[in-house]
Amino acid sequence: MALYNFHRVLITASILFDAFFSYWSFQQWRETGESINLVMLVGSSVVTLGLIAYFIYFNRNLHNKRAVFDPGH
């Protein structure tokens, strides 16, 4: 497995983990009403969106570099 494929798997796993953590924080906030859970929800959601944006950027950037270095690809 090439390093960039491993990087894709790692980013995907991070997105899934963080999305689950956002959901868990939301459930905890609904049950307890504690503001720390709301803060964790907002922070985790921002990180999830950032990871998604990075994943898109990484794939586009990788595709552009592969086209430059390997015109037949």
The reported pLDDT for the residue numbered 3 is 87
40: nearest Cα among 29, 53, 31: 29
- pLDDT confidence of 64, banded at 50, 70, 90? confident
pLDDT mean across residues, the chain: 89
Q: What is the pLDDT of residue 72?
A: 56
63 or 18: which carries more pLDDT confidence?
18
Q: Where are the domains of the chain?
A: 13-67
pTM: 0.80
Averaged pLDDT for residues 27-55: 97
The confidence score (pLDDT) of residue 28 equals 97
* pLDDT confidence of residue 70: 56
